[in-house]
Amino acid sequence: MNEVEDAQLLERSRRGEESAFSELYRRHQAGIYRYAVHMCGAGAGDDVVQETFLAVLRQRGRTDAPRQTVAGYLFGIARHVVLQRLGSKYEPVTDSGDDHVSEVASGALTALDNLTRAETIAAVRAAVQSLPPVYREAVVLCDLQEMEYAAAAGVLQCPIGTVRSRLSRARALLVTKLSAAQSTAVARRR
């Protein structure tokens, strides 16, 4: 996605140009929708997308460029909406240096060969959904949305090292949960 074009679309959208707004919306709504669904559940996707883009429309007087990418800027607004919805469910964690633990845990999952694609997707989805929100959003942004660490740090308003740490911890938790899911599937087939 062309960042220059995105910035122009944002500027024109703020001036009330319908065609520019439609294009900006089509480029980014799906990612924001999926982020919202992972964070707040399927029922929240439409609402979060609507509130995010309404916020853009209500900033019509603004002419300054976002400090980050347009995608990062939109995700930042969406995250604000999501955090309001989550309220106390979003508990900040102490990002201690547990990379060593994460690396050890990552080695525990050798393969998911015993699962079909559908089973794998269902198992991963359940595992992601069971993560604490603070770790879940790191996985959603970096692994599912394929956002760069720097961009994710901008959205999460934390240092890049914190993003790495949360992602590492999240992946360790996912490996643990998926290993258990694989064992259950194997036992069921015997």
Partner 1 sequence: MKESEGRSPLDTALRAMAEDEAQLGASAGIEARLLAEIRSIAAARRRRIAIAVCAAAAVVLFALWIGSQGFPPARSSETRVAEVTTEFMPLVYSSVPSTNLQVVRLAVPRTALVSFGLTPPEPLERASADTVLADVLVGDDGLARAVRFVRPAADQEQMP
Among the listed ranges 72-80, 88-96, 122-130, 148-156, the one in contact with partner 1 (CB under 8 A) is 122-130
Tell me whether residue 155 or residue 170 sits nearer to partner 1 (CB atom): 170
Residue 103 Cβ vs partner 1, minimum distance, rounded to whole Å: 12
CA distances to 8, 40, 79 from 136, in Å: 32, 11, 13
Q: Which one among 123, 131, 138, 152 touches partner 1, defined by CB under 8 A?
A: 123
Among the listed ranges 67-75, 85-93, 111-119, 149-157, the one in contact with partner 1 (CB under 8 A) is 111-119
One-letter amino acid identity for 166? R
Q: How far apart are CA 112 and CA 179, in angstroms?
A: 8
Is position 62 an interface residue for partner 1 (rule: CB under 8 A)?
A: no
Q: Outline where 87-159 has alpha helix (H).
A: 99-106, 117-130, 133-139, 149-156
Residues 14-33 that bind partner 1 (CB under 8 A): 16, 18, 21-22, 25-26, 29-30, 32-33
The secondary structure of 8-74, three-state, reads HHHHHHHCCCHHHHHHHHHHHHHHHHHHHHHHHCHHHHHHHHHHHHHHHHCCCCCCCCCCCCHHHHH
Look at residue 4 and give its three-state secondary structure. helix
Site residues (vs partner 1, CB under 8 A): 16, 18, 21-22, 25-26, 29-30, 32-34, 37, 45-46, 49-50, 53-54, 57, 60, 106, 109-113, 115-117, 119-121, 123-125, 128, 139, 143-144, 146, 171, 174-175, 178
